Amino acid sequence: MTPIAPATTVAGAGDMGEPADVATARPRVRPLRWLAGAVLLVLAAQLAWFLVTNPRFEWPVAAEYLLDPNILAGLGMSLLLTVIAMTLGSGLGVLLAAGRLSGFKPVAWACGVYVAVFRGIPPLVQLIFWFNLGYLLPRISLGVPFGPTFASWPTNSVISSLTAAILGLTLHEAAYMAEIVRAGILAVDGGQRDAARAMGFTPGQSFVKVVLPQAMRVIIPPTGSQFISLLKGTSLVSVIAMADLLYSVQVIYNRTYQIVPLLIVACAWYLAVVTVLSLGQRRLERHFGKGQR
């Protein structure tokens, strides 16, 4: 029986198969990787040349409007809408997730129907629908159902562009956050709840001190991505004349006809804010994932 060569011996390393030093071994040449790298380098150079040499980008115009007060105000409105819709949507999403996990079937079914409807209808359609709510409901009333009315207001005076934007984005966001929170809670092993109960924790204490910290490891990454998607989704409110970043850009280029450089300004601000948010999301993920490292 032929003996097996030791691991430190490489066939062909020398004339007699001497032991090879792994530290001095050369990596294999992979021509396909070099070819792919060269192709990517050529494409990047071609793209950079196109961006620099094409005068139609009008980079001086883009630089001129980058810090325009109207555009900065639009950016502030986009951020404000994102924070408000995410805060309200997250709160409503937690309630919907709790309802879907409830043992009371009517509540679970109602929450399931809400999630299915508001996830299934595109947010642009929802925004237009809420903005035109006055067609279906001329007045909004406050009173006893099927009874006397205490107060009422014209719908068009209540549902402004801002109200319609917050309402549409919040209801849409709540449906997604409900599924994110529900998935995070279900990811925690049921034995954790039993152990908390055995230690004398109430159901509320076991949820806050045991279940929720572990669920946050699953909830945070998709929540951060959802926040970023919501920021980009605020550009849809421009169709209902809401003065967000995109609408502010559109107002200017409708007057100056400098469409491309002003769209570049909008892209630059969206990229800058999304990059900052992505860095914050990574830090949160590292914080809540310490126990898994």
Amino acid at 46: Q
d(Cα 249, Cα 74) in Å, to the nearest integer? 8
**pTM summary value:** 0.80
Under-70 pLDDT residues of the chain:
1-23, 25, 288-293
Q: How far is CA 258 from CA 53, 61, 64, 235, 262, in A?
A: 18, 8, 12, 19, 6
Nearest to 164 by CA among 110, 238, 246: 238
Res 192: pLDDT: 77
Amino acid at 248: S
**What tokens does 163 get?**
């109200």
d(Cα 199, Cα 204) in Å, to the nearest integer? 13
User: Residue 83, CB half-sphere, CA atoms under 13 Å: how many?
Assistant: 7
Q: Summarize pLDDT for 201-255 with one digit per residue, the tens.
A: 887 778 778 887 788 888 888 898 899 999 999 999 999 888 899 999 999 999 9
Q: Summarize pLDDT for 273-284 with one digit per residue, the tens.
A: 999 999 888 887
What is the widest separation between alpha-carbon atoms in the chain? 103
Res 19: pLDDT: 58
Nearest to 237 by CA among 146, 141, 161: 161
**What tokens does 114 get?**
């809400």
